[in-house]
Amino acid sequence: PVLILLGPPGAGKGTQARMLEEQFGLVQLSTGDLLRAAVAAGTEAGKEAKAVMEAGELVSDGIVLAILRDRLAAADCARGVVLDGFPRTTGQAEALDQLLASGGQRVNAAVSLEVDDVKMVVRITGRFTCGACGEGYHETFKPPRRAETCDACGAQDMKRRADDNAKTVMSRLDAYHAQTEPLLQYYSEKSVLKSVDAMAEIDVIARQLAQIAGRLA
């Protein structure tokens, strides 16, 4: 199945996608992670994306689609995917539909994670991630059991993202409302839109998403 998580920065797309990966064996496909890897590797696409991401704006559809298409073609994606942070524009959504249709597939569910924008600033500025295994944490909402030590792998290599500051978060929220929110209508018209109250606790949201994913399997 193909499951999309839609929602503004901080809504919990990455947190929930990782849980769906563990529980259902779906492959988490995050265009944000793929772009950050391209930036770190210094590829042409990465060089172009870097400043755009630091400004909190959207990277061009051309770059994002090229990266996504390559990753989606990898063998493991045949198990099913959870798309985290993609699509983000109507152009990306249409391109995804075409790409899936050519392989006899379609989007099975698009879940909108509904949140209060104002609270997203706190979620994002308190976030950090294990550099070794990618597990995500939050100073207040999901602290590791031992300070600075990853619960999942034991590494002491916590990282913060370059775009996780209050100023950039405001641009990212604006980009979401202007360019991504129209996708709620797009998927509603295709009768695959679901929504979840994403101000709830992480485990409560995870249970609701598990129900949705379970029905697709």
| Phi, psi of 125, deg, nearest 5 | -75, -15
Catalytic-labelled residue, pool 18, 50, 123, 172: 172
Catalytic-labelled residue, pool 13, 18, 50, 123: 13
> Between residue 149 and residue 208, which ones bind Zn ion under the rule CB under 5 A?
150, 152-153, 155
85: nearest Cα among 154, 155, 171, 17: 17
In three-state secondary structure terms, 66 is: helix
Segment contacting Zn ion (CB under 5 A): 108-116, 128-136, 188-196, 198-206? 128-136
Catalytic-labelled residue, pool 18, 50, 88, 123: 88
**Measured on CA atoms in the order 133, 196, 92, 164, is the torsion positive or negative?**
negative
Mark whether 71 is an active-site residue. Answer: no
- Cross-strand pairs, 137: 128
Name the token pair of 20.
């769906």
Segment contacting Zn ion (CB under 5 A): 15-23, 129-137, 182-190, 193-201? 129-137
122: nearest Cα among 7, 5, 9, 6: 9
Kindly list the catalytic residues. Answer: 13, 88, 127, 161, 172
Query: Which positions touch ligand AP5 (CB under 6 A)?
Result: 7, 9-15, 31-32, 35, 52-53, 56-59, 64, 85-86, 88, 92, 123-124, 127, 136-138, 141-142, 172, 198, 201-202, 205
